[in-house]
């Protein structure tokens, strides 16, 4: 049995508090010692990737204390409970099974008589069959023409993750002959969002994927109506252009209004659904089911690395623990995610949801207020763009922001130019390593405006190239990092009660059921 104790009740909490400020990053990263750290402070990930933490404010003593924390908080045991089907999402009394969409990590998980791994695999097979028929021209529009475009209608986890994954592989697929259909996304209830997407596509050759687990998400149903209006105006039969991704019990399942329906269940949270049917349908249609399968394999391999009890061999767990150390003992409030890869342009936006919605909590899993800070603010943009934007504050601002860099040796499109004796890809890679050292060691200058204090911690994930496999591994890494941090903070990382109140009040405004300040605000926007 595992124990679910608050973080500040653990012995390692006191031990770590005592180590605060022990490591002077500028000092340890200077000279030969710095080079040794870069070689030593690295953990292998799957798919040829690695997590390097040389420029973090840790040393062997801090790592030992973090190992004690991992052991005391029973992190691998809790992960095992999760993948073996315990009710980890206590608030909603649900299992947490997103890892099971990509592999069988432990025991068979059977719920209501259904083997859940079989269920997820079956949905993948059904999607693959559907996608193959669309690509082969066996499922066509009313005129018998092939579909060329897929449009995902969903919000939050039904949008950010799948969109980030699509953008990450779009150009790779184009140059590798794996590009099947263009994908678009409609998410915002702002009518300008749907209007703009619809104006840019040929609706007669488009398949729309309506994604809503409950089948009741207001934004998504509103946008569905928007799309159905557009299809009707174009003289098209909506039921020949729409599929649903939903739960088996939702009103969208077994509904004649859709060409087909593919299922998820309550055991996969929205922000963890990229590897479920939610990501599967759009990615399989866009790139083919084989590419989606490769993405799942990449994630499955990374999920395996999370089982290792030795933090020096468990990249997601180590990343999580260092993040906790920075947040709770070094006092850093935010973390920036900085992928040096244009394909990952929306990956930070996905991680923003993944992390902030999972661990932005003030109560533990038993609903008791905690006395320590939990999830950080997450933000980021791809390098080198960020360098010309907000890096000024990261280098010389009054607060320290830990940084999470990602870099690949090769570009995706293999199209490059040599300027001043280096390729663009070499410049890109030179920039990421230069930034890490600039942040860690700074630079002395008598002109204090040109002085860099250094001591600003960062980590670096490296890989060969952004491919379906490495993308899957990257996603799993961060999902598991967030999970392990939630375990340490003893929060439920899998519910999101904080989004409910706004929805309730918005309904009141629309029903005219307001008074006082809410009514006054509604008047400002003439609702």
Minimum distance between the CB of residue 122 and a copy of itself, rounded to whole angstroms? Answer: 28
What is the distance, to the nearest Å, from the Cα of residue 186 to the centroid of all Cα atoms in its chain?
19
CB atoms within 10 A of CB 501: 9
* Dihedral angle, C-alpha 110, 113, 115, 116, nearest 10 °: -70
Nearer to a copy of itself, 321 or 394 (CB): 394
Q: For residue 284, give the H/E element and its range.
A: helix 277-287
Nearer to a copy of itself, 137 or 191 (CB): 191
Nearer to a copy of itself, 111 or 385 (CB): 385
Query: Looking at 357, 381, 469, 479, which residue is catalytic?
Result: 357
CA distance 78 to 82: 6
Query: Looking at 388, 427, 443, 507, which residue is catalytic?
Result: 388
The length of the chain, given as a count of residues: 527
Minimum distance between the CB of residue 492 and a copy of itself, rounded to whole angstroms? Answer: 8
Respond yes or no: is residue 80 known to be catalytic.
no
Strand 182-186 to strand 110-111: parallel, antiparallel, or no bridges (unpaired)?
A: unpaired
H-type alpha helices, 42-155? 60-72, 75-83, 116-135
What is the distance, to the nearest Å, from the Cα of residue 252 to the centroid of all Cα atoms in its chain?
26
CA distance 17 to 54: 21
Nearer to a copy of itself, 305 or 458 (CB): 458
Respond yes or no: is residue 388 known to be catalytic.
yes
Minimum distance between the CB of residue 30 and a copy of itself, rounded to whole angstroms? Answer: 7
Which of 223, 234, 88 lies closest to 156, judged by CA?
223
Nearer to a copy of itself, 277 or 492 (CB): 492
Minimum distance between the CB of residue 351 and a copy of itself, rounded to whole angstroms? Answer: 10
3-class state of residue 203 by DSSP: helix
Nearer to a copy of itself, 89 or 297 (CB): 89
Respond yes or no: is residue 503 known to be catalytic.
yes
Minimum distance between the CB of residue 389 and a copy of itself, rounded to whole angstroms? Answer: 4
Say if CB 339 and CB 471 are below 8 A apart: no
CA distance 63 to 176: 42
Minimum distance between the CB of residue 105 and a copy of itself, rounded to whole angstroms? Answer: 27
Which of 306, 311, 309, 307 lies closest to 322, judged by CA?
311
Handedness of CA 497, 502, 507, 512 (dihedral sign): positive
CA distance 173 to 468: 9
Greatest Cα-to-Cα distance within the chain, rounded to the nearest angstrom: 74
Nearer to a copy of itself, 289 or 382 (CB): 382
CB atoms within 10 A of CB 144: 7
Nearer to a copy of itself, 30 or 111 (CB): 30
Q: For residue 313, give the H/E element and its range.
A: none
How far the first Cα of the chain sits from its last, in Å, is: 54
H-type alpha helices, 306-407? 315-328, 347-359, 391-396
Minimum distance between the CB of residue 300 and a copy of itself, rounded to whole angstroms? Answer: 25
The residues facing 151 across adjacent strands are 184, 208
Which of 97, 105, 100, 96 lies closest to 117, judged by CA?
100
Minimum distance between the CB of residue 69 and a copy of itself, rounded to whole angstroms? Answer: 19
Query: Looking at 9, 503, 507, 523, which residue is catalytic?
Result: 503
Catalytic residue numbers? 357, 388, 503
């Amino acid at each position: 049995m595992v124990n679910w104790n608050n973080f500040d009740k653990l012995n390692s909490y006191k031990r770590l508090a005592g180590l605060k400020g022990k490591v002077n990053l500028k000092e340890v990263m200077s000279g030969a010692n710095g080079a040794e750290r870069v070689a030593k402070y690295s953990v292998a990930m799957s798919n040829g990737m690695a997590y390097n933490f040389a420029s973090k404010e840790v040393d062997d003593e801090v790592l030992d204390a973090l190992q004690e924390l991992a052991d005391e908080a029973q992190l691998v045991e809790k992960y095992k409970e999760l993948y073996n089907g315990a009710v980890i999402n206590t608030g909603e009394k649900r299992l947490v099974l997103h890892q099971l969409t990509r592999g069988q990590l432990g025991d068979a998980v059977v719920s209501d008589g259904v083997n859940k791994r079989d269920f997820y695999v079956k949905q993948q097979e059904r999607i693959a069959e559907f996608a193959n028929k669309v690509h082969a021209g066996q499922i066509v529009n009313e005129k018998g023409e092939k579909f060329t475009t897929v449009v995902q209608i969903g919000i939050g986890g039904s949008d950010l993750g799948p969109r980030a994954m699509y953008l990450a592989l779009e150009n790779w697929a184009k140059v590798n002959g794996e590009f099947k259909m263009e994908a678009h996304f409609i998410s915002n209830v702002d009518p300008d969002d749907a209007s703009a997407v619809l104006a840019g596509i040929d609706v007669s050759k488009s398949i729309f994927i309506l994604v809503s687990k409950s089948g009741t998400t207001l934004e998504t149903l509103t946008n569905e109506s928007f799309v159905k209006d557009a299809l009707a105006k174009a003289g098209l039969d909506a039921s020949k252009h729409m599929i649903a991704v939903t739960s088996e019990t939702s009103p969208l399942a077994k509904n004649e209004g859709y060409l087909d329906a593919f299922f998820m269940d309550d055991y996969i949270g929205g922000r963890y659904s990229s590897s479920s049917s939610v990501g599967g349908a759009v990615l399989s249609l866009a790139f083919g089911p084989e590419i989606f399968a490769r993405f799942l394999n990449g994630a499955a391999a990374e999920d395996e690395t999370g089982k290792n009890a030795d933090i020096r061999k468990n990249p997601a767990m180590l990343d999580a623990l260092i993040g906790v150390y920075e947040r709770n003992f070094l006092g850093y409030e935010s973390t920036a995610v900085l992928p040096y890869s244009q394909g990952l342009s929306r990956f930070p936006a996905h991680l923003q949801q993944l992390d902030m919605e999972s661990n932005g909590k003030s109560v533990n899993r038993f609903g008791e207020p905690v006395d320590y800070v939990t999830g950080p603010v997450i933000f980021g943009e791809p390098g080198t763009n960020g360098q010309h934007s907000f890096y000024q504050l990261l280098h010389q601002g009054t607060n320290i922001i830990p940084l999470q860099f990602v870099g690949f040796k090769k570009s995706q499109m293999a199209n490059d130019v040599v300027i001043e004796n280096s390729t663009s890809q070499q410049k890109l890679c030179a920039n990421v390593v230069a930034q890490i050292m600039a942040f860690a060691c700074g630079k002395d200058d008598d002109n204090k405006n040109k002085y860099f204090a250094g001591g600003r911690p960062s980590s670096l994930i490296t890989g060969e190239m952004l491919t379906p496999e490495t993308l899957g591994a990257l996603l799993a890494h961060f999902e598991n990092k967030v999970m392990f941090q939630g375990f340490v903070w003893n929060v439920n990382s899998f519910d999101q009660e904080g989004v409910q109140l706004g929805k309730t009040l918005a309904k009141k405004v629309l029903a005219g059921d307001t008074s006082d300040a809410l009514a006054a605000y509604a008047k400002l926007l003439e609702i």
